[in-house]
């Protein structure tokens, strides 16, 4: 299994199509953004215009001396209507992979990063009986079309809806929910971020397995895995059982499933603290990011150590980053996070790569454009790219 992974450590960065490409008009998310009243603070619009400017952006990755770039293939572009496959869209993603390869960058491709075609949402999204089959067909056509892919991530953060359902559902007023369901032509649960646990633990895992089989049938040597949202889990005295229940509910079933994969993508941003009263939240009085998360770069190393203590599947950090406007703090965060990963590796964690989230300041879903993770700011006239100092920190770490 481990022979499928690249022999060298992957240093890179990541994006998701809907968050950076712009004008993804056939997706379920685009419909929800334009509902009235909307769950979203603002629509994605042109986003960072990455669909047109991918060569420039991949050039930045190369200039930083990074050797991996994770991007997603937007299903809603490839199959805008059921059964209609756009060869033009597939050609576009082929060119993206080629732009990476020509610069010595390993293309890491994600097949489902939260969004999906509207027609699929109308059929129920993850809850649709034929979702696993449809997703496997999409996986096969993408890996058949794109040459030189280094790794494939099937579904991004498959476990996230189970963890964050109370947050996402709590944000929706009755009026927003009604507007969203009119826009989707389906229950709001058809949108991945609002999917229910039954759909995720059932069809979600089944779709991952079906896509994995389809990918291996097309390209036997291609490494495949899923990515998971995993926080460092801390417990106040007396709350250890609460913490352990969270781990067993939200992480363990997916990590068990990943034992048949070539790797698991670990996506960690912060730490959650379980309290003796059964509640879970951020430690009071600590430093917080603009998202309200605990500012804790050490979290990623702790998560890698915990996974290695129970599972033997190789890990790639497919997302880790700092959200905020203070780029000096972002640089410090990156250095501390990488040190944490290296410390976990020294203790035996099988980590094969570190991909920072995100290459670009982007559309942060329901929170719009106010939350900034990027190494690069697309701002000003014509969205001119401004490489931040924190990008140089990652570049120096990659250079050793």
The catalytic site residues sit at 157
User: In terms of residues, how long is the chain?
Assistant: 400
Q: Taking a C-beta distance cutoff of 8 angstroms, is the pair 159, 229 a contact?
A: yes
Q: Taking a C-beta distance cutoff of 8 angstroms, is the pair 78, 85 a contact?
A: yes
Q: Across the strands, what pairs with 294?
A: 288
DSSP letters along 113-166, please?
SS--BHHHHHTTGGGSTTHHHHHHHHHHHHHHH-TT--EEEEETTTTHHHHHHH
Q: What is the DSSP letter of 294?
A: B
Tokens 């979290």 found at = 299
DSSP letters along 324-388, please?
SS-HHHHHHHHHHHHHHHHHHHHTT--EEEEEEE-SB----GGGTTS----SEEEETGGGEEEE-
Q: What is the DSSP letter of 40?
A: S
Compute CA 255 distance to the chain's CA centroid, rounded to the nearest angstrom. 16
Q: Taking a C-beta distance cutoff of 8 angstroms, is the pair 11, 338 a contact?
A: no
- Beta carbons within 10 angstroms of residue 232's beta carbon: 22
**Beta pairing, strands 151-155 & 227-229:** unpaired
Q: Taking a C-beta distance cutoff of 8 angstroms, is the pair 125, 66 a contact?
A: no
Distance CA 165, CA 126 (A): 15
Phi, psi of 288 (to 5 degrees): -115, 150
Q: Taking a C-beta distance cutoff of 8 angstroms, is the pair 122, 190 a contact?
A: yes
Q: Across the strands, what pairs with 117?
A: 27
């Amino acid at each position: 299994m481990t022979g499928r992974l690249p022999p060298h450590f992957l240093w890179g960065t990541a994006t998701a199509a809907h968050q950076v490409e712009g004008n993804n008009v056939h997706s379920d998310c685009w419909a929800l953004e334009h509902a009235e009243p909307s769950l979203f603070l603002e629509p994605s619009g042109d986003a960072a215009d990455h669909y047109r400017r991918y060569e420039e952006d991949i050039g930045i990755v190369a200039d930083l001396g990074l050797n991996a770039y994770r991007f997603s293939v937007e299903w809603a572009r490839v199959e805008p209507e059921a059964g209609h496959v756009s060869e033009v869209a597939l050609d576009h993603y082929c060119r993206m992979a080629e732009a990476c390869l020509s610069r010595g960058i390993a293309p890491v491709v994600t097949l489902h990063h939260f969004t999906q075609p509207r027609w699929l949402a109308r059929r129920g999204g993850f809850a649709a009986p034929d979702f696993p089959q449809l997703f496997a067909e999409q996986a096969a056509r993408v890996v058949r079309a794109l040459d030189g892919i280094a790794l494939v991530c099937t579904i991004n953060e498959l476990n996230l809806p189970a963890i964050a359902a109370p947050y996402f559902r709590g944000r929706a007023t009755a009026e927003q929910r009604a507007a969203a369901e009119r826009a989707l032509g389906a229950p709001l649960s058809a949108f991945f971020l609002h999917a229910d646990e039954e759909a995720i633990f059932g069809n979600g895992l089944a779709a991952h397995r079906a896509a994995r089989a389809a990918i291996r049938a097309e390209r036997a040597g291609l490494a495949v895995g899923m990515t998971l949202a995993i926080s460092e889990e801390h417990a106040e005295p007396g709350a250890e059982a609460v913490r352990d229940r969270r781990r067993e509910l939200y992480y363990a079933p997916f990590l068990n499933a990943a034992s048949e994969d070539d790797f698991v993508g670990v996506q960690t941003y912060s730490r959650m603290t379980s309290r003796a009263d059964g509640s879970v939240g951020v430690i009071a009085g600590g430093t917080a990011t603009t998202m309200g998360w605990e500012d804790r770069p050490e979290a990623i190393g702790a998560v890698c150590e915990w996974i290695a203590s129970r599972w033997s599947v190789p890990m790639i950090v497919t997302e880790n980053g700092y959200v905020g406007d203070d780029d000096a703090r972002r640089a410090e965060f990156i250095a501390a996070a990488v040190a944490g990963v290296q410390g976990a590796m020294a203790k035996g964690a099988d980590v094969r790569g570190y991909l920072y989230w995100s290459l670009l300041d982007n559309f942060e879903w329901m929170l719009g454009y106010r939350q900034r993770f990027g190494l690069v700011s697309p701002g000003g006239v014509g969205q001119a790219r401004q490489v931040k100092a924190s990008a140089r920190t990652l570049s120096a770490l990659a250079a050793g």
